[in-house]
Amino acid sequence: MASQAFSNDRKHVFHSWSAQSLINPLVVSRTEGSCFWDEDGKRYIDFSSQLINVNIGHQHPKMVEAIKAQVDKMCTIAPFHANEERSEAARLIAEIAPGDLNMVFFTNGGAEATENAMRMARLHTGRNKVLTMYRSYHGATGGAIQLTGDPRRWPAEPAMPGIIKFWGPYPYRSAFHSENELQETERALKHLEDTIMVEGPNYVAAIIMETVVGTNGILVPPPGYLEGVRAICDRYGIVMICDEVMCGFGRCGEWFAVDHWNVTPDLICFAKGVNSGYVPLGGVIISDRIADSFRERQFPGGLTYSGHPLACASAIASINIYKEEGILDKARRLGKDVIAPGLEKLKDKHPSVGDVRGIGAFWAIELVRNRETCEPLVPFNAAGPDAKPMMDVLGACKAQGLWPFTHFNRIHVTPPLTSRLPMRCTPANRNYRF
C-alpha cells in the first residue's frame, strides 16, 4: 500500500527531467552520514552524494547546529542590506579562491551562477559570443541550458545567439585521433584556437568550461590544457570562466579543481559543495579586473535571495568544517588510497570496464561492449530498450543498497568526502569493497 507521502508526490509533485507517469520515486525518510533510508527502513549507501553535492555527508551535527542558530538570529533580509553572514561567507570564499578573485556575487544555485558569469563577461568585454564545450552541463535555466553541450539542451533550442560549441579533450575517446595525452592537449588547444579564429577573436567574450567535466564523464584535463586555455584567453582578451559547481569545494581534493594546475580564471562559478546543499546557495567569484568594470556602472542583475543569510551561515559552517576536519586531505586520500586502486582492480577483473578515471573523490567507470573498439555499453543518449543494460546495472546496485550516479554508459564514483558512516550503516557482517 502506497504511503501518504508517495501518494501526494504522484498527485501533486512535478519532477524534473522526467516523464511524470513513468517514474517511481523512492520515498526517503531520513539521512545520516554517508547513508539514507527509505520509508520501509532499507538503507542505501549514498554513492552519488545525492547530486554530487553532499560533500560533508548528511546531517553533519556542526552544520545542523549552525543553521538552527541562524534561524534564531535572523532568517532573511533583502540583498541590498549588508549583514554579518553574507559578508563573512564572501570573505571566507575569497580567502580560499586562487589569485585575485576577491569578490563574490551570490545566487541560489549553479545555473544562476553560470547565467550571471556569462552576463558579467559580456558586459566586461563588450562582446557577445561565448564558447563552451559539447561535453558539458551548466544548468537548466534559459541561458545555462544553452551553454550546456549534452542532449539536455536539444529540447530548449533554438539557442540564444552567440553560443558556440567546441570539442574539449577526452583522451579515451579523442575527437582529435590523439595517441597520448600530450597530443590530446596540443590538438585540443589548436582546435580551440581555430574555433576562435573563425568566430572572430574580437567577438568572443568568454570561454566557459567545467574545470573537470562532471556529468558528461569525469574528464580530467590532460597536462597543459588548462594552462593553454588561460594563455589563449590572455592573448585575445577573452574572459576565462571555470564552472566548479560540481568539481569545486573539495570534490577534487583541493578547494577548487583549478588549484591542481595553478591556473587562475577570471570567474569561478560555484554551488553544491559550498554548503553540501543543506540550503540552496551558489555564486560567482570575481577577479578584481572584472569587478572593476562595475565600480562606476551598475551590474544589471540580481536575485531576491542573493546572499540569503541562512544559506550564507551554512556556507560559513561548511568551510570551517572543511578546515577543522581536514576534508581536503580526506578527499585526496579517499581517491588515492581507496577509489583509484579499487577501480583498477575492477577494471582488471571485468572486460566490460573500458576505462576508469578521476581525481580526488570524483571518478567514473566507463562501461563498454568491446575494449578493443571502445564501443559503449549503451549508445549515446540511449533511452527505452537501448538503455536497458545500464538500467540493469543501476537496478542491481540499488538492490544491494548502493545508490550510484549514472549517465549514458558510465557509473560515477562520487561518495561524500567524509566517508562518515554511522554505526547503523556498517553492520559487522558486511564488507563494503569495490
What's the CA gap between 28 and 271, in Å, rounded?
23
Q: How far apart are CA 121 and CA 137, in angstroms?
A: 19
CATH code that applies to domain 4-48+326-425? 3.90.1150.10
Closest CA to 149 of 134, 159, 130, 169: 134
The pTM for the full model equals 0.94
DSSP letter for each residue of 293-324:
TTSSS------TTTT-HHHHHHHHHHHHHHHH
**Where exactly does CATH 3.90.1150.10 map onto the chain?**
4-48+326-425
CA distances from 121 to 147, 230, 325, 427, 429 (A): 14, 15, 36, 52, 55
For the 63-324 domain, the top CATH level (class) is: alpha beta
pLDDT tens, residue order, the chain (434 aa):
679 999 999 999 999 999 999 999 999 999 999 999 999 999 999 999 999 999 999 999 999 999 999 999 999 999 999 999 999 999 999 999 999 999 999 999 999 999 999 999 999 999 999 999 999 999 999 999 999 999 999 999 987 899 999 999 999 999 999 999 999 999 999 999 999 999 999 999 999 999 999 999 999 999 999 999 999 999 999 999 999 999 999 999 999 999 999 999 999 999 999 999 999 999 999 999 999 999 999 999 999 999 999 999 999 999 999 999 999 999 999 999 999 999 999 999 999 999 999 999 999 999 999 999 999 999 999 999 999 999 999 999 999 999 999 999 999 999 999 855 444 444 433 332 22
Residue 143: C-alpha distances to residues 136, 164, 239 (Å): 14, 13, 17
Query: Which part of the chain has CATH 3.40.640.10?
Result: 63-324
329 CB neighbour count, 10 Å cutoff: 12
Tell me the one-letter amino acid at 330. Answer: K
Backbone phi, psi, residue 164, to 5°: -120, 130
Identify the burial level of 34 via C-beta atoms within 10 angstroms of its C-beta, where 0-12 means exposed, 13-18 middle and 19 or more buried. Answer: buried
